[in-house]
Amino acid sequence: DQQVKQNSPSLSVQEGRISILNCDYTNSMFDYFLWYKKYPAEGPTFLISISSIKDKNEDGRFTVFLNKSAKHLSLHIVPSQPGDSAVYFCAARGAQKLVFGQGTRLTINP
Protein backbone atom coordinates (compact mmCIF):
# COMPACT_ATOMS: atom_id res chain seq x y z
CA ASP A 1 0.00 0.00 0.00
CA GLN A 2 1.42 3.33 -1.10
CA GLN A 3 0.76 5.89 1.61
CA VAL A 4 2.08 8.81 -0.43
CA LYS A 5 1.13 9.24 -4.07
CA GLN A 6 1.92 11.71 -6.80
CA ASN A 7 -0.55 10.99 -9.54
CA SER A 8 1.02 13.15 -12.22
CA PRO A 9 4.17 11.52 -13.58
CA SER A 10 5.09 14.63 -15.54
CA LEU A 11 4.29 18.31 -15.88
CA SER A 12 5.37 20.83 -18.49
CA VAL A 13 5.26 24.57 -17.71
CA GLN A 14 6.37 27.65 -19.57
CA GLU A 15 9.19 29.67 -18.06
CA GLY A 16 7.90 32.48 -15.86
CA ARG A 17 4.57 30.77 -15.17
CA ILE A 18 3.48 28.97 -12.01
CA SER A 19 4.25 25.27 -11.54
CA ILE A 20 1.92 23.34 -9.25
CA LEU A 21 2.87 19.86 -8.14
CA ASN A 22 0.41 17.74 -6.18
CA CYS A 23 0.65 14.96 -3.63
CA ASP A 24 -1.91 12.87 -1.74
CA TYR A 25 -1.41 10.80 1.38
CA THR A 26 -3.46 8.34 3.36
CA ASN A 27 -1.91 8.20 6.83
CA SER A 28 -3.28 10.86 9.18
CA MET A 29 -0.41 10.20 11.62
CA PHE A 30 2.19 11.86 9.39
CA ASP A 31 3.50 14.94 11.19
CA TYR A 32 5.80 16.57 8.63
CA PHE A 33 5.61 16.81 4.88
CA LEU A 34 8.48 17.58 2.59
CA TRP A 35 9.43 18.15 -1.00
CA TYR A 36 12.69 16.90 -2.43
CA LYS A 37 14.16 17.79 -5.81
CA LYS A 38 16.20 15.38 -7.88
CA TYR A 39 18.42 15.98 -10.89
CA PRO A 40 19.55 13.09 -13.12
CA ALA A 41 22.36 10.97 -11.68
CA GLU A 42 22.09 12.74 -8.33
CA GLY A 43 20.35 11.95 -5.09
CA PRO A 44 17.23 13.84 -3.97
CA THR A 45 17.92 17.12 -2.15
CA PHE A 46 15.66 18.70 0.43
CA LEU A 47 13.65 21.66 -0.86
CA ILE A 48 10.95 22.72 1.59
CA SER A 49 8.87 21.27 4.42
CA ILE A 50 5.69 21.92 6.35
CA SER A 51 4.51 20.80 9.75
CA SER A 52 1.11 19.14 9.98
CA ILE A 53 -0.05 21.97 12.23
CA LYS A 54 0.45 24.55 9.49
CA ASP A 55 -1.33 25.05 6.22
CA LYS A 56 1.27 27.05 4.33
CA ASN A 57 5.01 27.52 4.26
CA GLU A 58 6.84 29.85 1.93
CA ASP A 59 10.51 30.04 0.99
CA GLY A 60 11.34 32.41 -1.83
CA ARG A 61 9.77 31.15 -5.03
CA PHE A 62 8.56 27.95 -3.36
CA THR A 63 5.38 27.59 -1.34
CA VAL A 64 3.94 24.41 0.08
CA PHE A 65 0.25 24.17 0.96
CA LEU A 66 -1.24 21.50 3.20
CA ASN A 67 -4.91 20.56 3.27
CA LYS A 68 -5.23 18.05 6.10
CA SER A 69 -8.92 17.40 5.64
CA ALA A 70 -8.27 16.36 2.05
CA LYS A 71 -4.93 14.71 2.90
CA HIS A 72 -3.39 16.71 0.10
CA LEU A 73 -0.37 18.92 -0.30
CA SER A 74 0.94 20.93 -3.18
CA LEU A 75 4.13 22.72 -4.13
CA HIS A 76 3.89 26.01 -5.99
CA ILE A 77 6.88 27.41 -7.82
CA VAL A 78 6.55 30.94 -9.10
CA PRO A 79 8.00 32.13 -11.34
CA SER A 80 9.25 28.88 -12.83
CA GLN A 81 12.82 28.91 -14.12
CA PRO A 82 14.69 26.51 -16.44
CA GLY A 83 16.81 25.31 -13.50
CA ASP A 84 13.64 24.05 -11.84
CA SER A 85 13.43 21.24 -14.39
CA ALA A 86 13.88 18.12 -12.27
CA VAL A 87 11.96 15.29 -10.61
CA TYR A 88 10.12 16.38 -7.47
CA PHE A 89 9.38 13.90 -4.70
CA CYS A 90 6.78 14.44 -2.04
CA ALA A 91 7.56 12.80 1.31
CA ALA A 92 5.88 12.41 4.68
CA ARG A 93 7.38 11.66 8.07
CA GLY A 94 6.00 8.92 10.28
CA ALA A 95 7.30 6.06 12.44
CA GLN A 96 10.95 7.17 12.32
CA LYS A 97 11.14 7.26 8.55
CA LEU A 98 10.24 9.26 5.48
CA VAL A 99 7.69 7.78 3.09
CA PHE A 100 8.13 9.00 -0.47
CA GLY A 101 5.88 9.29 -3.46
CA GLN A 102 6.93 8.25 -6.94
CA GLY A 103 7.93 11.68 -8.15
CA THR A 104 6.73 14.14 -10.78
CA ARG A 105 9.03 15.17 -13.61
CA LEU A 106 8.78 18.93 -14.09
CA THR A 107 9.97 20.42 -17.36
CA ILE A 108 10.24 24.18 -17.73
CA ASN A 109 10.05 25.30 -21.33
CA PRO A 110 11.70 28.54 -22.49
Residues that bind other proteins (CB under 8 A): 2, 9, 32, 34, 36, 41-46, 49, 89, 91, 93, 96-103
| Burial class of residue 37 (count of CB atoms within 10 Å of its CB; 0-12, 13-18, 19+) | buried
Question: Least separation, in Å, of the C-beta of 98 and other proteins?
Answer: 6
Nearer to other proteins, 67 or 102 (CB): 102
Question: Least separation, in Å, of the C-beta of 2 and other proteins?
Answer: 6
Question: Least separation, in Å, of the C-beta of 32 and other proteins?
Answer: 5
Nearer to other proteins, 65 or 78 (CB): 65
- Relative to beta strand 19-25, strand 4-5 is antiparallel
**101 alpha-carbon distance from chain centroid:** 9
Nearer to other proteins, 80 or 101 (CB): 101
Nearer to other proteins, 32 or 78 (CB): 32
